[in-house]
Amino acid sequence: MTQDLPLPFGAIDTHFHLFGPARDFPYAPGRDYTPADATVEDYIALARRLGFSRSVIIQPSVYGTDNSRTLSALEDRPMPMRGIVVVDRSVSHAELERMHGLGVRGIRINLLFGAGAGWDTARHLAPKLREMGWHIQFLVDVSTIADLRRRVMELAVPTVFDHLGHVPVSRGLKDPGFEALLALLKDDLCWVKLSGTYRITGETTAPYRDVAPFARALMQANPDHVVWATDWPHPAIRVPMPDDAVLARMTLDWTADAEMRQKLFVTNAERLYGFDRLPREAPQ
């Protein structure tokens, strides 16, 4: 753990990606971007530098439903990991069971980038996911969904929203979509990742101070259903590449409350992803 970045012991990064090499893990046709390689070794070095010890690898849109890159990392398991995959309607129960054994705990529905699945796929797969005890993670701008509550309710499985709901801060805290997200959160009907701040900010460099009111509103709505993530290696962004230590420090600055930090960085994610609980303090 870096001396100037006091993350709680056992901190969990709930959202990162791996990319390439393309010769081993080819990208899907129809993708919206082609990323640079981001290796397991690079990620582990980041984890050690920042001070988190567990993580959740997220299937990115550029691989479509080919989860080979994600599952390979879970098989190697260089640190305690869980995974989120992308599947289509034809996925078999046996394949879901195999992935569960590797540490997969949910599927991702990507409504912002190509090569993803949609709401219809989420509805179709919901009964299988319910049986598995998995959740659905959405990458969607909630300000564009007029009937967000109804859509979440009809799924009847735990629902997670990436990147603070992906609402551009220019729309303001009173945006109907963001207010709907807050209402779902207050009623324990969803979870939200406090991540990807550079995707919704109106600023160009971190710390993105215009995002802080949104993050604090989400934490206040339900401190037990928010989690933290790096979103490393920050693919397809339109601002200068941020420093992950600065992003983590920015998150710490959102709250000085030790109990809230413990929930945000550790215990909430332990519950959501089924990580074994660790002692509250590092061994001496």
Which entry of 13, 162, 231, 244 is annotated as an active-site residue?
231
Instruction: Count, in order, helices (H) and strands (E) of the chain.
Output: 10, 8
Torsion angle (degrees, nearest 10) of CA 92, 269, 185, 163: -80
Asked if 122 contacts 148 with a C-beta cutoff of 8 angstroms, the reply is: no
Q: Which residue has the tokens 């779902």?
A: 184
Query: Is 231 among the catalytic positions?
Result: yes
Contact by Cβ (8 Å): 215, 194: yes
- Give the Cα separation of 152 and 157 in Å (integer): 8
Strands 104-110 vs 135-139: parallel, antiparallel or unpaired: parallel
| Total Cβ atoms within 10 A of residue 42 | 13
Record the tokens describing residue 123, joined without a space.
């509805």
Question: Which residues are tagged catalytic?
Answer: 231
